[in-house]
Homo-oligomer: A and B are copies of this chain.
Amino acid sequence: MRRDVFQAIADPIRREIIELLATETLSVNEVAEKFEISRPAISKHLKILNECGIIDFNQIGRERLCLIQPQKLIPAFLWIKQYHKLWEDRIDSFENYIYQIQTKNDKK
């Protein structure tokens, strides 16, 4: 059972949960109400998010509030960011290519 940030954000429902919790803190039931799937299914998704630290629970009476811990996304962010330079260079060279074509056309 792999349990890391990459695997956590691979599921579209879990990404939606993160999006929800980024704007407001919700209880488990409040999260579940936003989706078509059953509450236990949501409970499982929340458990996975909790196991890799992306959310924390704050128990208030019989309710559990889900708090996002966005800094847990940083490793995934940094991994992708490595390639930022790579794709920026590509885009740059594409722009250069376009520029050269335009220059060539101008010369005609």
A residues apposed to B, CB below 8 Å: 2, 6-7, 9-10, 12, 15, 18, 22, 68, 70-71, 73-74, 76-77, 79-84, 86-87, 90-91
Partner of A73, one of B70, B83, B91: B83
Contact B22 A82 (CB under 8 A): yes
Contact A79 B15 (CB under 8 A): yes
Question: How many of these chains are in the complex?
Answer: 2
Most chain B beta-carbon neighbours within 10 Å: one of A2, A7, A80, A84: A80
Q: Which residues of B contact A82 (CB under 8 A)?
A: 22
Contact B74 A77 (CB under 8 A): no
Nearest CB on B from A104, distance (A): 25
Contact B80 A76 (CB under 8 A): yes
> A73-B80, A77-B80, A91-B71 are known contacts. Are A86 and B22 too (CB-CB below 8 A)?
yes
